[in-house]
Amino acid sequence: MNVKDPATDFSCHPASREERDEIVSVYRDSFDDDPVFQWLFPDRETRKPLLEEFFDVMVDHTFAHGGSVLTMDYGAVSMYFPPDAVEQPREIRDRLLDTLRRELGPQCDKPVHLLTMLEASHPRDLPPHYYGTFVAARPRHQGHGLGTRLKKSLFAMADKDRAGAYAEASSPRNLALYERLGQRRLGAALTLPGGPPIYPIWRPPPTPAA
């Protein structure tokens, strides 16, 4: 079986709703060792099924409410919201949390806390921007530049719209990568109770040509 590598062997393109099962599988397989998701779902035996349930909800929510997903032939994926879909009505956000409570049952408290914290800490005074929510690469493709290509593709869309790019880095390693690509820390790290820090990051809109 041929395994695609390096990153140039992969095609970066917007995914459709019909690809949601493949997208969810990338997230399920990619975040098993992520510090934030280890905090969310500490039991390794049940983490992957819970990751699948969590991202079933998040991918459906993204497609249903103005967001989209970039995919690298299912080697890596990135969910995002364009500027006109970053701010969502309270009833939509509440519906998302209610869906997580229903799907995750007794495991819902930490995911609900995480999403509530991210929404509350999202700066309201930023210029129009893209919001990249979750970037993931399958373990066998990590470290080969797929995440970098996804981030650069999102930045290209933002630059075309003369918009900024906001996200949160879930680890110092991801933070270092995003900083190399031109995003910078924005304010203090967010703190999860008994969990790892999360780093808000920002890339301003392009400077208008003189």
Longest dimension (CA), the chain: 57
pLDDT given at position 116: 97
pLDDT given at position 205: 96
Whether the per-residue pLDDT at 21 is higher than 70: the answer is: yes
Domain 13-203 -> CATH class: alpha beta
* Mean of all residue pLDDT scores within the chain: 91
For 151, list phi and psi in degrees, rounded to 5: -65, -45
Pick from 19, 29, 49, 12: nearest CA to 150: 12
Domain-by-domain residue ranges, the chain? 13-203
Backbone CA torsion sign across 121, 122, 126, 132:
positive
Q: Does 83 or 141 have the greater pLDDT score?
A: 83
Pick from 134, 129, 150, 135: nearest CA to 86: 129
pLDDT bucket at 24, cuts 50 / 70 / 90: very high
pLDDT bucket at 20, cuts 50 / 70 / 90: very high
pLDDT given at position 139: 84
pLDDT given at position 145: 85
pLDDT given at position 72: 84
Q: Would strands 190-191 and 197-203 be described as parallel, antiparallel, or unpaired?
A: antiparallel
Find the distance separating the first CA and the last CA of the chain, reported in whole Å: 52
pLDDT cut 70: percent of the chain above it? 95
What distances in angstroms separate CA 154 from CA 55, 90, 122, 132, one per listed residue? Answer: 20, 26, 19, 8
Whether the per-residue pLDDT at 167 is higher than 90: the answer is: yes
pLDDT bucket at 1, cuts 50 / 70 / 90: very low
Q: How many CB atoms lie within 10 A of CB 152?
A: 13
Q: Which residues pair with 119 in a beta bridge?
A: none
Over residues 188-201, the pLDDT tens digits come to: 999 999 999 999 99
* For range 32-38, the mean pLDDT: 92
**Angstrom distance (rounded) from CA 77 to CA 12:** 9
- Min mean pLDDT across 117-121, 123-127, 204-208 is at 204-208
Tell me the helix, strand and coil percentages in the chain, rounded to 5.
50, 20, 30
Over residues 64-114, the pLDDT tens digits come to: 999 999 988 778 899 999 999 999 999 999 999 999 999 999 999 999 999
pLDDT bucket at 129, cuts 50 / 70 / 90: very high
